[in-house]
């Protein structure tokens, strides 16, 4: 087996009304260096990674094993060094990056030659929704849906002239808890309005009308009205970011991070203005990652 490395971007799901179907990849990374070894070993090189006691309990190992098993293969033993820039349980897709890392690990170690659709399908089954995993896999801005007949389709938007600013609070919010506050169903009229808003966001993003996109992304009816109460400074961040020049600000995934979409090149300036308002937050100007998962074979 040849040594290789994997790099997987962070991601932000929903972008307001694209609930459970829209994701964007961001330039913060989970990286794995994989080498042949006579036993399984995981080595963590970032305080952002969760602790584990035995390799069998390692989340990425468990995913890789599950995928290998589906193809009737067993994983060869390896040493995996992991580094991460993605904070846990903050709405920046740490779990989706880890899931896709496990899938890609199995793909590489067992020579499965999985297609992008197969990887997306596995990732969606494990995560429960395709938004983050599609962004991690393809990079950029991706719309994905798994229809009720289990057909999975995706569309990758053309490169957008946008940067983002994220506001990461110190506390964690588990997706599971942030989903509990959502209604089980929506009246047809509300669902029609909510999907109309979502359609407008996507159409205006594709056509480059970012003012309209920003306005509409802040009008979500699917999840933000219910989650706002879980997120301190929700309204303040939105209003101040708008005044500072952001097109629109939404909850990143299930929160508690919030994310602003800003004109290309204005990220640092807007982040600096917002830092004075939010001294306890990690406020960062980030870029959209357009590469998705990267696999690199080590040099001979």
Which residues of the shown chain bind ligand HSE in the complex (CB under 6 A)? Answer: 13-14, 19-20, 129, 131-132, 175, 178-179, 223, 253-254
Residue among 16 and 112 whose Cβ is closer to ligand HSE: 16
Residue among 134 and 254 whose Cβ is closer to ligand HSE: 254
Continuous segment of H or E residues that includes residue 7:
strand 4-13
- Residue 170 DSSP label: S
Contact 115, 74 (CB under 8 A): no
Shortest Å, Cβ 19 to ligand HSE: 6
What is the DSSP track for 68-127? HHHTT--PPPEEEEEEE-S-TTSSS-HHHHHHHHHHHHHHHHTT----HHHHHHHHHHHH
Residue among 119 and 129 whose Cβ is closer to ligand HSE: 129
Q: Which residues pair with 284 in a beta bridge?
A: 166
Helix axes 59-70, 94-109, angle to 10 degrees: 50
Residue among 14 and 108 whose Cβ is closer to ligand HSE: 14
Residue among 81 and 179 whose Cβ is closer to ligand HSE: 179
Shortest Å, Cβ 53 to ligand HSE: 26
Residue among 157 and 295 whose Cβ is closer to ligand HSE: 157
Shortest Å, Cβ 245 to ligand HSE: 26
Distance, CA of 176 to CA of 185 (rounded, Å): 17
Residue among 33 and 224 whose Cβ is closer to ligand HSE: 224
Shortest Å, Cβ 125 to ligand HSE: 14
Shortest Å, Cβ 29 to ligand HSE: 18
What is the DSSP track for 248-288? EEEE-TTSS-EEEEEETT-HHHHHHHHHHH-TTSEEEEE-B
Written as six digits, the tokens of 129 are: 């929704």
Written as six digits, the tokens of 218 are: 């802040």
Shortest Å, Cβ 234 to ligand HSE: 15
Residue among 22 and 109 whose Cβ is closer to ligand HSE: 22
Shortest Å, Cβ 92 to ligand HSE: 10
Shortest Å, Cβ 73 to ligand HSE: 29
Helix axes 116-127, 94-109, angle to 10 degrees: 130
Distance, CA of 296 to CA of 300 (rounded, Å): 12
Compute the C-alpha angle 183/188/194, nearest 5°. 70
């Amino acid at each position: 087996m040849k040594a290789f490395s994997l790099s997987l971007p962070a991601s932000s799901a929903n972008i307001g009304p694209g609930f459970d179907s829209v994701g964007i990849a961001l330039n913060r990374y989970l990286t794995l260096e994989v080498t042949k070894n006579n036993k399984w070993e995981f080595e963590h090189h970032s305080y952002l990674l969760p602790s584990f006691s035995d390799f069998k309990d390692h989340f990425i190992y468990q995913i890789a094993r599950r995928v290998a098993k589906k193809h009737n293969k067993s994983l060869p033993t390896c040493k995996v060094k992991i580094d991460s820039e993605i904070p846990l349980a903050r709405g920046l897709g740490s779990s989706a990056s880890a899931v896709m890392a496990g899938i890609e690990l199995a793909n590489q170690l067992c020579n499965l030659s999985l297609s992008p659709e197969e990887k997306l399908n596995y990732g969606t089954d494990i995560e429960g929704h395709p938004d983050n995993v599609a962004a991690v896999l393809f990079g950029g801005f991706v719309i994905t849906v798994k229809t009720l007949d289990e057909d999975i389709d995706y569309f990758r938007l053309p490169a957008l002239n946008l940067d983002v600013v994220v506001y990461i609070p110190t506390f964690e919010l588990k997706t599971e808890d942030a989903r509990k506050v959502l209604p089980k169903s929506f009246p047809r009229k509300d669902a029609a309005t909510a999907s109309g808003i979502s359609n407008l966001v996507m159409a205006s993003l594709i056509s480059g009308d970012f003012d309209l996109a920003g306005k509409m992304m802040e009008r979500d009816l699917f999840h933000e009205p219910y989650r706002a109460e879980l997120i301190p400074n929700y309204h303040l961040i939105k209003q101040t970011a708008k005044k500072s020049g952001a097109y629109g600000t939404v909850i990143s995934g299930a929160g508690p991070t919030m994310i602003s979409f800003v004109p290309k090149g204005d990220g640092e300036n807007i982040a600096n203005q917002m830092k004075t308002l939010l001294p306890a937050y990690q406020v960062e100007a980030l870029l959209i990652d357009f590469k998705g998962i990267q696999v690199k074979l080590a040099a001979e």
